[in-house]
Amino acid sequence: MENGAAQPVIVAIDGPSGTGKSSTSKAVAAQLGLSYLDTGAQYRAITWWMVTNGIDVDDPSAIAAVAGKPEIVSGTDPSAPAISVDGVDVSGPIRTQDVTSKVSAVSAVAEVRSRITELQRTIAADAERGIVVEGRDIGTTVLPDADLKIFLTATPEARAARRSGELRGVDVHSTREALLKRDAADSGRKTSPLAKADDAVEVDTTELTLPQVVECVVTLVEEKRAAK
């Protein structure tokens, strides 16, 4: 069956940083002809806007007051996922260490999560061919009725090695500490914490290569699509 003629399927891929979520999600979407959404980029984008506009990211009420202001537009092409804020391409600026260090604080604010969650649900609903949505609370909060939920895990050491490889010149130890701090912030926040959905399939990527992870997830999606 051609991908275009296949049943549309909504796939939620969650997990902490450094488990291979983005690489896996993009590759799976491309292979199966699905749209792709990086929800983390949306939280980074609103964080970038807060920083750029001088909002105190340590003040939740200040963040909440302006959460509705920035216009965030996410591209859903897995081969070139774009994101803009108020018409400005922010694909590069949102990956800076400054934004990375502040995104947990901004994304913990309920008004921010509500705004971004609504945006994510709209994008998923409009994806005619189906979509792979990656993040931290997709299967539990954003798309609890997703056709397939996958939760990627890996040891802190493996995740740090991957992440420090992506960020050249960063040592593994400091990266591991930063990841564990981010885990604690994401898992401990009151609104939509990082958590594995009860009906999610857990995939430990510690000992797997990226192609192996992709093959595993593609197989799960194809099985789910065939059963629809």
Query: What is the greatest pairwise CA distance in the chain?
Result: 52
Q: Can you read off the two tokens belonging to residue 177?
A: 């500490």
Flag whether pLDDT at 219 surpasses 60: yes
| pLDDT per residue as tens digits for the range 97-156 | 899 999 999 999 999 999 999 999 999 999 999 999 999 999 999 999 999 999 999 888
Tokens 């995740």 correspond to what residue?
Answer: 159
Mean pLDDT for the stretch of residues 71-90: 96
